[in-house]
Structure 1
Amino acid sequence: MRAYSLLALLLPLVSANVHAECDCQTWSEGGQWGYNRDLTHWICYHVYTNTATFMDKYGRCVATQSALDGQDWENKCVQYGTQDGYRAFDNKGNPIESGPLLKVGAATGHCPDRY
């Protein structure tokens, strides 16, 4: 009985996809896959406002309250990168509100570490 209780406690931890930091990788027609600083910054600024911060030095969104869910992060990279659009940022870290929203051909999330 105890083994089943322990398994029930540990199973969510094994299947969890949680990370301390994440960024977005994108592709546009005629180009190659690569890191997208503005999309990463936008998601951190726009979606994870109270739970993470964009670390300019590393160019990644870093969790400040609790870990970032990797699947949710990837879904947001795809959603804002290819569908909803995102803004570029000025050198002071503010979104540039003028002009159309930016979009890419394809996007994916990248979360290099695990808790």
Structure 2
Amino acid sequence: MHALSLLAVLLPLVSPLVAANLHSQCDCRTWTDSPEGGEWGYNRDLTRWLCYHVYTNTASWSEDYGRCVATVEMFDGQPWEDKCVEVGVKEGYYRFDRDGHPITNVNPIKVGAATGHCPNRY
């Protein structure tokens, strides 16, 4: 009986640590159709737009990694993936010029399917 009471007390403290899937860097992938059936591929522009537009104060774009890198706190993988889908499929995103500025004088780009990718690196 005491074991169950102890578990009930500790579970709320431990569950957020177990539930969070934290990563130091993330990118977005989009689906590309092909005659062979299609595949998921890295989408540099969508990744960079999320980093620039959504995670402005908590992350920075890394040319070296081609990913958004956490600067304040680690990324939780599920919200990152949700944003890849929301922005890539529903809202749209923009490409960047050679100087790193978004090209927003055109219609936003939208894709049919998107997902997040956060490698397990710290």
**2:65 maps to which residue?**
58
Q: Which runs of 5+ in 1 are unaligned?
A: none
Whichever of the two has the greater Rg, that structure is 2
Q: How many residues end up aligned between the 2 structures?
A: 115
Aligned to 1:24: 28
| Paired position in structure 2 for 1:41 | 48
RMSD (Å), alpha carbons:
1.7
Residue in 2 that maps onto 1:109: 116
Alpha-carbon deviation of 1:8? 3.6
Cα contact 1:18–1:69 (8 A) shared by 2: yes
2:27–2:43 Cα contact (<8 Å) kept: yes
Find the residue that maps to 1:25 and give its secondary structure.
Answer: strand
> Aligned with 1:33: secondary structure?
strand
Residue segments in structure 2 that go unaligned for 5+ positions in a row: none
- Asked if structure 1 preserves the Cα contact closer than 8 Å seen for 2:32 and 2:41, the reply is no
Match of 2:17 in 1: 13
Give the alignment's TM-score, normalised by structure 2: 0.85
After alignment, is 26-35 or 99-108 more displaced? 26-35
Identity within the alignment, %: 59
User: In structure 1, what residue type is equivalent to 2:24?
Assistant: A
